[in-house]
Structure 1
Amino acid sequence: MIRNFKRTAALAGIAALSSATLVACGDDSDSTDSTKDTAATTAADSTSSDSTDAAGAEKGDYELSGETGTLVAEGASSQQNAMEYFGAEYAAEVPGANLAYNPSGSGAGIKNFIANQATFAGSDSALKDDEAEQAKERCGGNEAWHLPMVIGPIAIAYNLDGVDEVNLSVDNLVDIFQGNITNWNDEAIAANNEGTELPDQEIRVFFRSDESGTSDNFQKFLAAASDGKWTGEGKAFPNAVGTGANGSSGVAQEVNATPGAITYVEAGFAEQKANVDFGAGPVELTAENVGTALDKMEFKTEGHNMVVDSKALFAQHEDGAYPLVMTTYEIVCSAGYDDSTANLVKDFLNIALDRQDSELEGEGFIPVSGSYLERLRDAVNAING
C-alpha cells in the first residue's frame, strides 16, 4: 500500500486550463563527447542523495548520463501538462536533450510504443494481455514495465452560470451519462443539492471521442462505484449519449463554451468541478481528500512492474475520500533499448521523479513521495540497454 503522499496543500492551480502541447525538438548532430561529459558532470553535481530542492521534491540517489538527443514519447493527454513541465526541466538539466511528447491519447501511445515509433508510452490504463505480449516482442523479448509516475484526480467538470457548487452522487453520474437524467433541475439531482436553486436547463454531455485511458478509468470507476449499474468498458466511451471531443483539452473547451455542459476530465483542465458523493456524503476535490483515498491504494503486481488495483481504489467510500483518481503509467522497456536510448529514458524519468513538487501540484497532479517514490526510482535505475 502506498503511504506518505504529499497532501497537505490545496490544489492551488487545479482550475487552470492549459491547452499547450509539448512538441520539443532537438538536434544532436552538433553534440560532442565533451559536451556530453560537461552535461553529465553538471547534472551529477546538481543532484545528491537524500537532498531536497527548494520546491520540496525528494532527490534520489542516481547519476545523470548527460546523453543528448531527442526522446520521443506519445500517449495520454491527461499527463500533457506534467510532461510539459518535466520536459522543460529535463532540457534545462541536460543541455542538448529534449522531450518530444505527443499527447495523442493512451491508445495511440501504446500502438506506437509497440510499433517502435515511440520510446515510451504514456497510458492511463495498463496493457492488456495481448498488448503486453506485443510490447515484450518490441522490447527484444524483455518485459515492459508500468511506472505510475503521474497521478491526477478526474474531475466532473460542468458549466452552470450562477451555480457555484453542485453535489452529484454516483447514481446521478450513471444516469446523466446514460441519458436517463437530462435536465439540471431533475429531482434526483435536486435531492443532493438542498438549498441550491438548480436551473431548468438541458444537460449537455461531452465525452472523449478518441481512445482514452481517461474514458477507460472513468468507466471502471462508474462500474465499481455503482455496483454494476454502469456496464460500459474500455478506452472508447459509448457514443449513444452526448457529443464527442478530442483530447482532454477538447472536452474541457467544449464544456467551458457550452451552458449546461458536463464531462469527465483531468482536474487540471477543469474550471467548475462538482462535489461527488461516493457513498459517505459529498466530497470536494482537494489534495487532502485525494490523499485520503490514495493512502489505501494497492498494486496488483510486485517488483518494478507497478500495476495499480484500480477496482479496489474506485470502490472506496471512506469519509472524506475522493477516489476518482487516475494513475498514468509511463510504459517502458525493462531492457532492450540501445545504450543511448536507455540513457535518455533514465535521465528524463529520474528528473521527472525529482520534480514531484509544488509546481506539479499546481498543474492539478498529486506529487508522490516516500516509499512509493523510492520504488519508482529503483525501477527507473534498473532499466537496461
Structure 2
Amino acid sequence: MVTTRSTKAALVSLIACTSLVLGACSEQSDSAAPAGGSESAGDMDLSGATGKLTAEGATSQQKAMEYFRTKYGAAVSGSSFDYTATGSGSGQKQFINGTVDFGGSDSPLSDEQAEKAKQRCGGNDAWHLPLVIGPVAVAYKIDGVDNLNLSPDVLAQIFGGKIAKWNDPAIAALNDGATLPDSDIKVIYRSEESGTSDNFQKFLKAAAPDNWSTTGKSFPTATGSGANGSKGVITEVSATEGSITYVEAGFAKGVDGVGVASLDFGDGPVELNADNVGVALDHLKYKGEGHNMIVDANALFSMKEKGAYPLVLTTYEIVCSAGYQDDNTTNMVKDFLKVALANQDSELENKGYIPVKGAYKEKLEAAVDAIK
C-alpha cells in the first residue's frame, strides 16, 4: 500500500529515534552523558597505554569509529586514534601490510589473506571480532511511493537487470494497491571494492539462489552505474528519480526523498528495525573457532526465522591475536576495543548501529582480554 507523507515521517522518526535509527538523529557532543550504561575508565580495566593508534577499512563503521575515537581519547589521556574509511578491501590490505594496527572489514579474510596476516602477526593468527553491527538498507527514490515491499528474488532480478521497470508485475504483486510508475529502474552500486557489496551479493545468493550466483567485493557492472563509497551511492540515489541501491542503514536516514524498502521472505514484509534485526542476531552461527568470531554468512542470509531481518553487516575488527610490534601497541589496541565495547549505548544506536549485548558482548570481551 502507499502511505501518506505524514505516516512516512512518523515511521522514519520511530525507526530513527526509538528502535534502529537509520543514522545520526543527534550529532551532539560526545561529552554528553550517554544513556545505556557506558562505563568509566576504571570499570574498563584499561592499561592507559598512550600513543597514536591507527586503523583503516569499512565505511560502514565510520560513524561508530568516530564515536569510539572521542570516547577513547576521553578515557585514555594522551592517546589518539585515526580511522581511515577507505573500504573493507583496503582495510584488509593495510592490516596485512602492517600499515595500520587493525583493519575494519564487512567480510572476513580469505584463507590466503589469513596466512599473510599470520605472517604480519609474527606467526600468530589474526582474529575477526564482529564488534560493529549495522543493517543494510535497500534504499530507493520513487516520487509518490512512500512504502515499498520487495522480496529477495525480485531484488536479485532488479540488480541483475531482469526486472527493469518499476511497474513490473513481480513488484506489483508485492505492493497491492500501490501506484507504481511505468519508468526505468536505475540501479546504483558501489564502484570500489567493498565489504558491503560482498555481503549484499552473499545475501542475494543465499536468499535468492535461482536469480543470483556471484559473490565478491566487486559488484557486477552490467546493470546500472557505480558510485564510490556509502555516501556516494546514497547521494546518487537522492539525486536520481527511479533509483535503487544497497547501503548501510545509517547513511539512508534523513535523506530527502529516499525511502527504505521492507523485505518479504515469504511470510509478509519485514521492516528494517532494531527488533527485527535482533531476531536475526539471536540466531547467529559462527565458522571461526575460539576467539576468531567469523559469522556464518550463508546461515545468516538464508535465515527464515519469522520476523527476522537478516540483511545485516557484522563488521569485523581484524586484529593480531598476538605478535604486535611492542607491548604498548598491544595495550592500545586492547584499550580501544574495551572502550568501544563499553560504549554500546543509545548514542551508538542513534548513529545507525545495533548495540551488542548479552552473551554476544561477553564473547567479544573475552576475545579482547585474550589478545597478547
**Fold equivalence (TM over 0.5):** yes
Deviation at 1:229, TM superposition (A): 2.3
Amino acid at match of 2:36: A
What is the CA–CA distance in structure 2 between the aligned matches of 1:141 and 1:263, rounded to whole Å? 41
Alignment of 1:195-344 (within 5 A): 195-271=177-253, 272-337=259-324, 338-344=326-332
Query: 1:354 aligned to 2:342?
Result: yes
Q: Indicate the residue corresponding to 1:167 in structure 2.
A: 149
1:48-82 deviation per Cα after TM superposition (whole angstroms, max 9, x unaligned) = xxxx9742347896421212221110000011111
1:183–1:201: 8 Å Cα contact kept in structure 2? yes
Offset from partner CA, 1:130-154 (integer Å, 9 cap, x none):
0000000000101000000001111
Greater than 4 Å deviation, 4+ residue runs: 15-19, 57-62
| Preserved contact between residue 16 and residue 270 of structure 1 (Cα < 8 Å) | no
1:170 and 1:225 in contact (8 A); partners too: yes
Identity of aligned residues (%): 61
Which residue type is aligned with residue 321 of structure 2? S
Residue from 69, 82, 93 that aligns with 2:51: 69
Q: Match for 1:136 among 103, 109, 118?
A: 118
User: In 1, distance between residues paired with 2:20 and 2:290?
Assistant: 34
AA of the residue aligned to 1:291: G
Aligned residue identity for 1:71: L
C-alpha deviations, 1:96-155, integer Å up to 9, x for none? 211110110010011111111011000001110000000000001010000000011111
Structure 1 unpaired stretches of 5+: 1-6, 20-51
Q: Mark the CA change 1:316 to 1:345 in structure 2 (over 3 Å): closer, same or farther.
A: same
**TM-score, normalised via structure 2 length:** 0.89
User: Match of 2:30?
Assistant: none
**Amino acid of the residue matched to residue 211 of structure 1?**
E
1:366 aligned to which of 354, 358, 370: 354
Q: How many residues align?
A: 345
Shift of residue 156 of structure 1?
A: 0.2
Q: Which residue of 1 aligns with 2:97?
A: 115
In 2 relative to 1, CA 207–17 (structure 1 residues): closer, same or farther, beyond 3 Å?
farther
* TM-aligned CA deviation for residue 363 of structure 1: 1.2
Give the equivalent residue in structure 1 for 2:37: 56
Moved more, 227-236 or 80-89: 227-236
Distance 1:12 1:308, change over 3 A: closer
How many Å apart are 1:10 and its aligned residue? Answer: 3.7
The CA RMSD over aligned residues, in Å, is: 2.1
Measured after TM superposition, the shift of residue 91 of structure 1 is 1.1
- Superposed displacement of residue 17, structure 1: 9.2
Alpha-carbon separation, structure 2, partners of 1:77 and 1:163: 29
* 2:133 and 2:353 in contact (8 A); partners too: yes
TM-score by length of 1: 0.86
Q: Is the 8 A contact 1:158 1:262 kept in 2?
A: yes
Residues 58 and 368 (structure 1), Cα distance of their counterparts in 2 relative to 1, 3 Å cut: farther
Q: Point out where structure 2 has 5 or more consecutive residues left out of the alignment.
A: 1-14, 28-32, 254-258
How far apart are the structure 1 equivalents of 2:273 and 2:106?
Answer: 21
Secondary structure of the residue aligned to 2:91 is helix
